[in-house]
Amino acid sequence: MSNAQRLNKPIRVVVADDEEPARNELCFQLEQIDEVAIIGQAADGIKALRLIESLKPDMVLLDIQMPGLTGFEVARELVLQKTDSHVVFVTAYDHYAIEAFEINAVDYLLKPVEPVRLRRTLERVQNLQRTDSLKNTTAKTLTAKELEHIGKFMANRYSHSDSIAVKVNDKLILVQSDEIVFISLDNDAIEIVTRNLRGFSNCRTLDELQSHLDPSLFWRVHRSHVVNIHKIKEILRRLSRNYVLIMTDPKHTQIPVSRTQTKRLRDYLKL
Q: Helix (H, G, I), strand (E, B), or coil: what is residue 57?
A: coil
Report whether pLDDT(91) > 80: yes
153 pLDDT tier (thresholds 50, 70, 90): very low
How high is the pLDDT of residue 145?
A: 52
pLDDT higher at 88 or 100: 88
pLDDT single digits (tens) 13-42: 999 999 999 999 999 999 999 899 999 999
202 pLDDT tier (thresholds 50, 70, 90): confident
The average pLDDT across 63-69 equals 93
Residue 59: partners with Cβ closer than 8 Å, 6 or more residues away: 11, 12, 13, 14, 85, 86, 87, 88, 106, 122, 125
CATH number of 163-269: 2.40.50.1020
The average pLDDT across 141-169 equals 59
pLDDT single digits (tens) 133-151: 554 444 344 455 544 544 4
How high is the pLDDT of residue 137?
A: 45
61 pLDDT tier (thresholds 50, 70, 90): very high
pLDDT higher at 246 or 268: 246
Long-range contacts, stretch 63-67, CB < 8 angstroms, 24+ apart? 63/16, 63/17, 63/18, 63/19, 63/22, 63/89, 63/90, 63/91, 64/89, 64/91, 64/93, 64/96, 64/100, 65/18, 65/91, 66/16, 66/17, 66/18, 67/18
* Domain boundaries of the chain, sorted by first residue: 3-134, 163-269
The mean of the pLDDT values for the chain is 83
Least confident of 43-47, 131-135, 218-222: 131-135
How high is the pLDDT of residue 23?
A: 95
Q: Helix (H, G, I), strand (E, B), or coil: what is residue 74?
A: helix
What are the residues facing 14 on neighbouring strands?
40, 60
Task: List Cα–Cα distances, 49 to 11, 55, 105, 138, in angstroms.
Answer: 18, 10, 16, 32
Give the rounded distance of the alpha carbon of 162 from its chain centre: 6
Amino acid at 227: V
Task: List Cα–Cα distances, 255 to 82, 175, 227, in angstroms.
Answer: 47, 21, 8
Least confident of 35-39, 45-49, 257-261: 257-261
Least confident of 26-30, 83-87, 140-144, 209-213: 140-144
Report whether pLDDT(9) > 70: yes
How high is the pLDDT of residue 271?
A: 63
The average pLDDT across 219-229 equals 92
Give the fold, CATH level 3, of 3-134: Rossmann fold (3.40.50)
Q: Residue 18: how many CB atoms within 10 A of its CB?
A: 17
The average pLDDT across 120-131 equals 83
pLDDT higher at 49 or 209: 49
